[in-house]
Amino acid sequence: MSGPYIVRGSVSLPEAELMWRFSRSSGPGGQHVNTSDSQVELRFDLAATEALPPVWKERALERLAGRLVDGVVVVRSSEHRSQWRNREAAAVRLAALLAEATAPPPKPRRPTRIPRGINERRLREKKQRSDTKRGRSGRGWT
């Protein structure tokens, strides 16, 4: 494997807490398609981990509540034909998922007023358009 998978900053996923499972992938393949276990299932016990800071852990548990099964997040990968590349893809996907789930909430939007000039210009253009359309009618041409 290519070392520790960095979530964000100096926080990384420890290899000891990652649980791997391999099975046969579906779909087309070559001659050894029925003998190689290339699909990868990666499990990470988010509820029991000590690798994440407590604030991040709470945030991730809250945001990933729909994906968790008993506090464990599961990521599958079967897009590559080799188990090695599927392992890499699953680990990178898990790190990206955790990075997104532990990100701080965005700053609240500060409402701003519409400048008076913009509003006046809009009303002036509406009036001009109205006058143009009113001038097209046949009234007053007798």
pLDDT of the residue at 141: 62
Mean predicted confidence (pLDDT) in 83-108: 90
Mean predicted confidence (pLDDT) in 105-122: 94
* pLDDT at 128 > cutoff 90: yes
DSSP 27-82: S---TTTTT---EEEEEEETTT-SSS-HHHHHHHHHHTTTT-BTTEEEEEE-SSSS
**Span 7-39, pLDDT tens digits:** 777 887 888 888 888 887 776 666 666 667 788
Write out the two tokens for 30.
Answer: 């070559």
Which residue did the predictor score with more confidence, 106 or 81?
106
Q: What is the dihedral of CA 38, 99, 101, 85, to 10 degrees?
A: -10
How far is the first Cα of the chain from the last one, in angstroms, to the nearest whole number? Answer: 89
* pLDDT at 1 > cutoff 60: no
Does the model's pTM come out above 0.75? no
Q: If we measure between CA atoms, which residue out of 56, 58, 63 comes closest to residue 10?
A: 56
Cα atoms in the 13 Å half-sphere on the side-chain side of 80: 12
**Span 48-87, pLDDT tens digits:** 888 888 898 898 888 888 888 888 899 998 888 888 899 8
